Chains A and B, each alone.
Chain A
């Protein structure tokens, strides 16, 4: 058990809809990272937050947004969903920002039908 909790584990929705994925980092970790994993694209970095502030941004679509709350949990919002957004979304946490060992959650499997 990594100590990182992601909910829900599975999500099935329709095109055009909006969903929210939630992540609770390991106790004491200030950084939260979001990744998207699809079969043909590997693990793509989306965004990183450190202690409530956006620290780094990767290939995150404008339809996607994220935030980290004062209690350090994070949410990834995906809107106007398309078939191609179907993927496994991972959250990871670390104690520092951008250089250390990551602890991954078990992921949210999103299926857009």
Chain B
């Protein structure tokens, strides 16, 4: 069965550095999402992406965050000048239409030191 893949599985970065989290959605999917889950807390929506542009973003998704689909397969989340509070598990998800469930990747655990 096709899967959403995320790399790396664990990223350790110094505070203030930029980090790029990578996702390869399922190939025929059109809708892409990023979520995050701070340890011990609930999952939170960050951003949705469709037709090569952001369709919705949450309050969390401020100017330090950006998303890109640089080619036909990758979907990336960039965090500029990381802060300690950015430490979390980041999940990518995709779906082929809005009336279908999302498929999630296994997540990238981001640790900011």
The yes or no verdict on A and B being binding partners is no
